[in-house]
Every structure is written in C-alpha cells, then in structure tokens.
Amino acid sequence: MTNLLPTAAALHTIWVRQHNRLARNLKIINPIWEDERLFQEARRIVIAQLQHITFNEFLPILLGKDRLRESGLQLRRNTFDSDYNIKTNPGTLNEYASSAGLFFFSLFPGTLGFTDSKGEISQQRAIGNLFNDPSSIYQKGRLEGTIRTLLHEPISRLNTPHIDVEFRDKFMRGPDKYGVDLAAMIIQMGRDHGLDSFTSWRKLCRLSRPTSFTELPDIFLPESPLEEFKSIYPHVDDIDLFVGGLAERPLPGAFLGPTFSCIIERQFERLRHGDRFWYENFFEPSAFTLKQLSTIRESTMAGVICDNTDDIGMIQPNVFQQADNYLNCPIDCNTTSIIPRLNLNHWRDEEHRSQLPITKETLEKAVRLGAEQFRRLQEAENGRLSRQPRPATGDLHQIPSALFTHASLMAPKRESLDIALTAGILSETTKILIRGVALNVSERLPSELSVETLQRLLPEVDVSRVVGNFTALVGGHTQNRKECLPKPLPCDHTAIYRTFSGWCNNLQFPHFGNAFEPLRRILDPVYDDGFDLPRTKGRNGRPLPSARHVSNLVHLEALPENESESRFHVKFSHMVMQFGQILDHDMTHSPVARGPNNAILNCSRCDSFDTLSVHCFPIQIDPSDPHFPGRHSDGSPRCMPFTRSLLGQLTLGYRNQLNQLTSFLDASYIYGSTECEANALRLFNRGRMNFTNLGYNKQALPQGLQERDCLSRPQFSCFNAGDERSNEQPGLTVLHTIFLRQHNQIALALSKINNFWSDEQIFQETRRILIAKLQHVVYNEWLPVVLGCELMARYDLMPRKSGYYEGYDPNCDASISQEFATAAMRFGHTLIRNVFPRMNSSYNHGWEGVKLETTFNNASPIYDENNGHMESILMGLLGSAGMDYDRFIVDAVRNHLFQRPGGPLTGLDLPAVNIQRGRDHGIPPYNSYRQICGFERASNFEDLLDTMDEAAVNALKAAYASVDDVDLFPGIMSEKPLKGALVGPMLAWQLAEIRTTTLSRMICESSEYAHRIQPNAFLLPDELVNAPIKCSELPATNLYEWLDRNFCVVDQRVINMGKNRRITPCVTCTCTAEGPECHSITIERCEELFEDYLLNEIKKDTVCVIQCARAIHEYEKRAESRRRK
C-alpha cells in the first residue's frame, strides 16, 4: 500500500524521515549508543507518537470527542495508564479489516495535484493515472507539494455515501482501458469473509435495527439512494455492512455513523488495552519515564510534518481539520509554543560513557560462574565457622563482648541479607570479567582498560534480566520483601502520606532515598584492587598506619589537671550530641556482613581474613598501645575485631554498601523503615504507638527482645523502637521515649478533635505532623548550632518563616552519601561525655551521673526510680555542656565502647572503628575532599594549617607518612570550627502551627520533670539570653487547625462553610474550604456602632478604633457627662 498513491508514499516518507531524524539526534545526545539501541529507541518513540496522534487527533474526528470519552478511549493527561489486560486479544477484527476500516476510500477526490507555498494548486491529474506510481514525488519540492495538498484540500465525501468513479471503474487499471471496481471488491470481500449484515451489526452495537426500508431515511444520509437499495437488496437485512456503514448519518460531532464508530471503537479499544507496550503503560523495562511520556504527549502530526519537510510554509495546528482563521489558524512551523517539538534531552544518559564489549551470552556465562563461585565461598566459610569453638548457651561472655554487641547493633535485616546474596554473585562476576578466568579469549575485556575506566563502565552493564536467574542457587526471602517493602507502580501522585520505605517519595525516580538502597559516592572509591579490597596502602605503597595507632595519636582524650579545666563547650548543651545521634539513626544504618545462616563473624584474630572469612578486617594493636596489650597471654598478636560492611551493590563493578534506612528525615527511628516494622510498633487504637506503663514512667518505650545483647536482662528488659539501636546508651533511650510520648499525645488530641477518624487516619496524620515538627527542629534549631548562620545562609538551609518551600528538585537524589555516613555525620563523637549528669527540674545535680562505659546496651538507668529514672537524664542533657568540638574523644568510647562489666579489655575504639570503616568502604583520603570543598590540595602537612591548628597538624604528621594518606574522619575532626558554628568548613495555617515547634516545647509536653526549660534546648541555660521559663510560656502547636469539619471556628465562634459572620464590631469572616478569611468592615457612620455594640467591644477592636477614634472619644465624653448628672 506504500506506493498505492503519491499521498501514501509521501506520508510513509515523512515517518521514515522521522525515524531517521530521531536516530540521528539520539546518537548526538548519546554518542555511545550502538546501532541496535538507536534503532529500537527511535522505533519505540515513533510508535508512541503514532499511537498518540491517532488517539489524540485522528480518532476524535472520526468518532467524536464525547463518544471517545464514553468508550474509555480518551488518553490520560498525565501519569501512566493501567488499563492493560493480559486477556484482551489485540488482533484485528475481520469487520474492521474488510469493511469499517476501509471507509477512507470514500474520502478521496477524483484528482490530485501539487500545492505550492502560496496555496496555488497545479499539475492536477486523475487519481486513476497515479496508482502505484510514486514518481511524481521524486522531484525537489514535490513531496512538500503533495503534503500541502493534503493540508489544504477538503475531503471528497461530505454528507454523501459515494465513492469517486476513479476508484470504482479505474482502480489499478495501469495501461489498460479498464480497471476494477474497488467498492465492489470490498463488498465481495465482506461476503467472502462471512461478515454479518449491516442491520445485524446495528443490533450488536445496541442500535435500533431497521425491519423495513421505510425506516432507513431516519438512519441514512439524505443523499443515500434509497430506491436503489430497494431494487438491489431483497430485504433490509441483506444490506452489506460496508454499504450501510457508509450511508449512515454521522454521530453528532463525529465523521462516521454509529455502526462504523462502534466497530472502530472495539478495534482501537483492543489495540490499546491488549498492547503490553502501549506507550502510556508503566510496565518496566518498556515504560517511558514520566518526562519522556510528557514530551510524547505534546506530539502532533503538524509537528512531525514540520520536522521532516523543507519549507512546508504555514500549517494549521490540527492537520486533520481544514485551516480556520479562528479555531485552526495556520502558523509558521517555528512557532513551537503552538506546535511543540519532542524534547529528546529526556533520553539523554546521565553521563556519556564508553561501552564495554560484553555480549549477552558472555554476561550470562560470567554470572553463572560468579554464582557458582559465590556458592563455593559460602560453603567453605560455613565449614570454617563450624570448626570454631562455640560458647555454651547463655555464656555470651566467651564471645568478645564488643564484637557481639557491635554485630547486634549493626545487624542486617532480612531484606538486606536478600540483597547481599545478589551483591555477592555480582561481586564474583566482576572478578571473573576483570581477570578473565574461565572465559575464552574473545569473551575477555580489553586488557588496555584502566581500573578507573572499569569502575566507571562496569556499573552501566544491565544485569537485571540475567542475575535473577541465578539468585535461587543461594537462597533468599523475596516474599518478605514483597510483604514489608511493597513497590507499587505507578506512584499515587495524590498520596497525602509518605511510605515507610521512602518508595514514591520522588514520583519521577521512586527509588531515590529508599531504604535498602546503596549509598551514593561523592568520589570514586580507592579500594586496593580498585573494586573490593579495603584501602590499606598509602601513597608510597607501604601499609597505612593501623586505625588504632591513628586514634592513639590524633584522638586520645585530652585529660586536664583538674575537672574544672575539662574541654566542655561554653555554650552548647549535651543535647546537641544526643539529638545528633538520633538524627543520624534517622538516616543511616549500614549493616555489617554475616556468615552463612546469618552467623556472627568473630573477626578478632589477626589472621581471621585467611582463617575465617573474607569479610574480616581486624584492626592491629601496637605493642606499645597505652590501653590494650599488644599480645594475648599465649603470645599471639592482639587485634581489635572488625567485620566489613554487608555487600549492597546491585550492579557489576566496585563494592558498595547498603543503607537500611530511608535517607529522608521521616522519623524512621520512631516508625521503622518498612510496613512490617511500623505495624509491630503500633497499638492500633486511636492512632497510638505501643508503650509500656512502668508506673513512675507511664509511657515508656514498649519492652521487647529487639535488642539482641541486652545486658540488663532479665532484671530490666530493653526496649523496642523504630530503630534497633534505641538501647545503645541511656541518653538515646530518653529521646526515643520523648518522641513516642509526643506521637501518642498528638494522636489522642486528634482523636478527640475528629472523633470519627479511623485509627489509620489518626496514626498517619499524627506521623505526618510529628515528622514535620522534627524537620522544623532540625533546620530551625539544630543545624544553625552545628553549621553556623553563614553556612546556613550560603546553602539556603534556613526554613521559611511563612509560605511554602519551592526549591524541590525531582532530579536531586536524596540518597545518603558514603562520605556523610562514614565520616561527616560522625562528628558528634567528639561531643560525648564520659559521664551523663543527672539533674532535677531546677538543673541541680541531685544524683550521681550515669557512666557511659558501663551502660552500653544496659537499660537499668531508665528503671532507676530512686535516681530520677529517665527524667533526670533528660534534664542532664539539657543542663550540662557537651564536650568541645575538637579531635579529642573521651575514653568511654575510645577504649571502653561496648565492653562487658568487669572486662576492661573487652571494649572497642570508636574513632578507630570510624577510620577502619572508611577504609572498608574505599573512602578516598581527606586531601581529595579539600579540592571539591574549595580548598587547595595540600602538598605537605604544613598546607593544612589553613583549616587546622598546629597541634592537630603535628598529630597527623606523627601518624601518617604522607599528607595524602590522612583518612577522612581524622582529617575533618582535626579542623577548627567555623565562627559561630560547631563543625569545620567541610561538612499555610497548619504550616504556621508546625513552625511554632521547638524541641524544648516537645520535651515540656512529654516530660514529668521539665516544668521550666530554656527556650533553645541545644544551648546551655543562661540567665541572660536562654533563661529557663515556664513551659506554658513556650508556644504550643494548636491541633485545632487539624479539625476536620464543614465549618470554621474564629474566636470561639462557629461559622458554617460558605457562610459569613461578623465576629467583632468591625471585622467579618467567611468560612472557606481553605479556612476562615477575615476582612475589616468600612464603617460609614461610626455612631451606628454604638447602637449595636458595647463601648468595651468597640474599643477592643483595633479596626474600629482606627476608623472611629473621634466618635469613640465623643461617646465617652457624653457617657461621662451623664454619669455626673
């Protein structure tokens, strides 16, 4: 049919040009795309444009817009389509192919010519002389002339059922005198195919079925030859479908009659709902992105013609309708505001990358070998674990204390373990591809590729369709992920409440910031082998100093000669540290690796990497260590246990690690990061969270077994919370409790205000409010203390005082970075005190403080009623200073972290663990980050004096052989804080009510001791600028703004929706759906006010006083005069 007529050949040419133009432009945008991908993507776009133009421009003319909407064929304006039905057969209907779909032959005129840019037509020829002869469009400008004719000339059929004689007598005649009758051929084809008659199809389409020829005038066009119908057909039921369909009166607003419309509707409904690759569908991986879909929805036939013709001239926006100076005015093709063009930038790869020569077959082979190698490694590791001596049941002290406690706190969740299985296979697959082991010469990667190039290219290889076939070899619990981490698509853009996992927070990139996603990297990793082995070598190739050695030289606690000289901060309270820790637990949790069957790895032996697991990375202890002996009693070297982080990359390439939490500030430490975790913490009664009543502490965290290493059990149970680390130390447990109480307090208030709300609605709305309040505290109170006003202003971090934030960027990936998780957010470790003071409500030291080194994972201080239980610890956080921000870290966490009672040598070194974790994750050295943060790269240690003091530089110089070896954590901890900051240089009505939130007010509402409190909880009480005040003097959130009602309340007056009421003598308010709108009244005669209102009421109304001050004064004089009489 391509060459049937020049017009058909011209349109075919337009679409071929469109394909080639798209392919050419896609190549420019993505130069690394190969021919096959360019072809398939251009084909996919062309098909999408054809589908859109057909349904958006062509079918509305044939069927009418109303009919299109009623039949469900109207396209969506945004989002994806979800009407695909696997049971729908998209095959072509016989009635469409051999009758209804051929209606267009009745539209052709008898002649065709060429129209020039001025609209003048020339060289008209009878169509009978043009069949199968496309030569007329070969000459320059003739294709455009043919297209202009299609644009300018009206169709032949207008209220007539006739087909031009050129198609009836001369169709396909060629050089012969006679051709064939196309209309007769179509009628005969219908009979050959056994099509039902016209009247039968009217019945099938639920239309009136004529029983005699006398009923046809009401159905057919006036020009229909009714007498010929009677003479041709013996009975009205004998009328052929094609003949009757063409003769029908068109529907209102449509071109076709109801019978052909019915058949065409059915055909196109099948095409749309039975096509898995329909352009609006959301099925991965064939779905377009929302931005791609949006620009495809701007496609028009006019735009396609403009893009693929030379000087077409003026063109009407809707080419299927004739030009009209009012409704379809011809415009220049360059008027892109009216004829928009496809924006191919939405098909641009994020980065231009070279392509690795890996075939699908090679990839499948490598993954299969990687899966087998990973399985063998697991079996071997399981054998080594089984040969280790096991402690007796309950005899946990035989396991190194810190190892078990730390492994419990950093335990992977089931979802993480599932991901780690896939990551393990991909890690081994990467090694096979890099080394070429078991691959043929033709399958190996080019030897000239550098490590940096492979780091960049390997993650781009699509393994999603391959690796799933092999994960079954190593097990997994995918059902748990489906239940607890649902990932529905398309995202509901109308959703009010955030998901627990972060899914669909970003509608365009639903996975951004999700729980159980890999950490992002600011800089590429510096693993020893480029991909997996931790960073252990310095610039000169020699081993880096032990992390413990660096800790001893750089982070050793600075002990004063007397307590009064301790390095406490002069301004900031200990709450800065404590809030910072719970904030960190809202955003980051990278679990450590486990052995087969989720076994804890005892990586305390210095040779455990070789004798136990490749995930062991123990920290060496020097013979001269000031706290830990360098050797065990048997003479073997002593190491500090350290297990590498769990594998988390779901791509080929370098090792990456997981974040088990969402990256958003969504209070996941209260609610968890999966639906299952949230449900386990809920009471399912009036929207509340579960709690334990201890009598003296009526709303404590719920007791439970979440803490695997609870040292106070069985006498004092540990607690459950949204984050499993809630019992790590008492101060953290205190804040968890405060926020639990805050949730339940808001929930109860909302349940009273809106007593018809369900538990689910109360819970979700409470969660939404509390998250907003906590976000406000972070940005309004905590960050200004940590960063200082200058950095807050420079990076636009200050929250708005009114209105809405308009800086949301859907292209910004909120996922936590490696550098933030392993170094920057650990700055608070320098603020920790050895002892957490206990204070009473007057900030007096009434009890002995809580020693941190003896209370890790020990809940007993929370139960200590005689010493003020949690309340006295809370007041101590508010009333005592945190340590100075410097490189020094107290011994409680530098020598005694997680140590067992009575076991002084069983602890860990927190700064050493931080340094080792950075090396485990392949974090580049500190010097690399100076450059990206605007500082010159240091060429020697003295160059660091621009951000550090001399003592800090000397300490680093003593620890490291080169300035390029300095780890990120000790580097940033050695910086001097900025002026007015804590850290160094690298680091609507309801809305109005949220903005009243302060941490101090939240503590007031949730504490029994806090009757008077400083307004800023992060600053020490100060009688001048931060003096403690009564809790009642702090602004509280008015939850009546969440009253779900069809009325408004203003000054305790009820106004029904849509009604107006005068609430003061000179102010009137209207209740709208968005709340009350109040305006002043213009008083024309002030004397009338005194007839309706009391003088005191008038004087209280400022609006009245402004307008009627003189009248009020005179009224008071008259009143006074009357009293005297």
Alpha helices in 485-620 (DSSP H): 547-554, 575-587, 608-611
For residue 169, give both structure tokens. 């007598």
For residue 251, give both structure tokens. 């529907």
Q: Is 829 annotated as a binding residue?
A: yes
Q: Mention every residue, 6+ apart, whose C-beta is less than 8 A from residue 344.
A: 22, 25, 26, 29
Q: Mention every residue, 6+ apart, whose C-beta is less than 8 A from residue 566.
A: 560, 883
For residue 68, give both structure tokens. 């299109």
For residue 553, give both structure tokens. 């030289």
For residue 982, give both structure tokens. 């804590």
Please work out, in degrees rounded to the nearest 5, the angle formed at the alpha carbon of residue 183 by the alpha carbons of 179 and 184. Answer: 80
Please report how the helices 730-753 and 759-777 are oriented relative to each other, as an axis angle in degrees rounded to 10.
130
Which helix (H) or strand (E) segment is 659 a member of?
A: strand 658-659
Q: Could you give the 3-state DSSP secondary structure of residue 736?
A: helix
Q: How far apart are CA 972 and CA 987, in angstroms?
A: 8
Identity of the residue numbered 648: G
Q: Could you give the 3-state DSSP secondary structure of residue 988?
A: coil
Query: Which of these, 694, 292, 249, 356, lies nearest to 508 by C-alpha position?
Result: 292
Identity of the residue numbered 188: Q
Q: Mention every residue, 6+ apart, whose C-beta is less than 8 A from residue 53.
A: 299, 300, 301, 304
Q: CB neighbours (10 Å) of residue 793?
A: 12
Q: Could you give the 3-state DSSP secondary structure of residue 409?
A: helix
Q: How far apart are CA 9 and CA 138, in angstroms?
A: 10
Please report how the helices 142-152 and 6-29 are oriented relative to each other, as an axis angle in degrees rounded to 10.
110
Residue the block writes with tokens 């070899």 = 473
DSSP annotation of 782: I
Residue the block writes with tokens 């019978």 = 259
Which helix (H) or strand (E) segment is 851 a member of?
A: strand 847-851
Q: CB neighbours (10 Å) of residue 355?
A: 12
With contact defined as beta carbons under 8 Å apart, do 14 and 305 qualify? yes
What is the phi/psi pair of residue 552, to 5°?
A: -65, -35
Please work out, in degrees rounded to the nearest 5, the angle formed at the alpha carbon of residue 463 by the alpha carbons of 459 and 467. Answer: 130
Identity of the residue numbered 278: W
**Dihedral of the CA atoms 119, 120, 126, 130 (nearest 10)?**
-60
Query: Which of these, 438, 120, 90, 117, lies nearest to 278 by C-alpha position?
Result: 90
Q: Could you give the 3-state DSSP secondary structure of residue 276?
A: coil
With contact defined as beta carbons under 8 Å apart, do 156 and 164 qualify? yes
With contact defined as beta carbons under 8 Å apart, do 781 and 998 qualify? yes
Query: Which of these, 998, 1092, 1097, lies nearest to 784 by C-alpha position?
Result: 998
Which helix (H) or strand (E) segment is 105 a member of?
A: none
For residue 3, give both structure tokens. 């060459």
Identity of the residue numbered 991: L
Query: Which of these, 895, 917, 914, 894, lies nearest to 906 by C-alpha position?
Result: 895
Q: How far apart are CA 685 and CA 763, in angstroms?
A: 9
With contact defined as beta carbons under 8 Å apart, do 235 and 244 qualify? no
DSSP annotation of 615: T
User: Binding site for heme b: what residues are annotated?
Assistant: 829
User: Binding site: what residues are annotated?
Assistant: 829
